[in-house]
Amino acid sequence: GAVVSQHPSRVICKSGTSVKIECRSLDFQATTMFWYRQFPKQSLMLMATSNEGSKATYEQGVEKDKFLINHASLTLSTLTVTSAHPEDSSFYICSARDPNGGAYEQYFGPGTRLTVT
Amino acid sequence: TQLLEQSPQFLSIQEGENLTVYCNSSSVFSSLQWYRQEPGEGPVLLVTVVTGGEVKKLKRLTFQFGDARKDSSLHITAAQPGDTGLYLCAGGNNYQLIWGAGTKLIIKP
pLDDT tens digits, residue range A8-24? 999 999 999 999 999 99
Chain A contact for B75 (CB, 8 A cutoff): no
Residue A90 has a pLDDT of: 95
Chain B contact for A46 (CB, 8 A cutoff): yes
Residue B9 has a pLDDT of: 94
Minimum mean pLDDT range among A40-44, B18-22, B36-40: A40-44
* Segment B65-103, tens digit of pLDDT: 999 999 999 999 999 999 999 999 999 887 788 899 999
Residue A47: pLDDT band (50, 70, 90) is very high
Give the closest of B35, B42, B88 to A111, CB-based.
B42
Residue A1 has a pLDDT of: 63
CA-CA distance, A20 to B48, in Å (whole number)?
32
Residue range B20-49: mean pLDDT, rounded: 94
Residue range B57-65: mean pLDDT, rounded: 97
Chain B contact for A42 (CB, 8 A cutoff): yes
Q: What percent of chain A has pLDDT over 90?
A: 72
CA-CA distance, A101 to A99, in Å (whole number)?
5
CA-CA distance, B69 to B26, in Å (whole number)?
10
Helices (H) and strands (E) in chain A, counts: 0, 11
Chain B contact for A74 (CB, 8 A cutoff): no
Give the closest of B30, B41, B88 to A104, CB-based.
B30
Residue B58 has a pLDDT of: 95
Give the closest of B33, B40, B100 to A104, CB-based.
B33
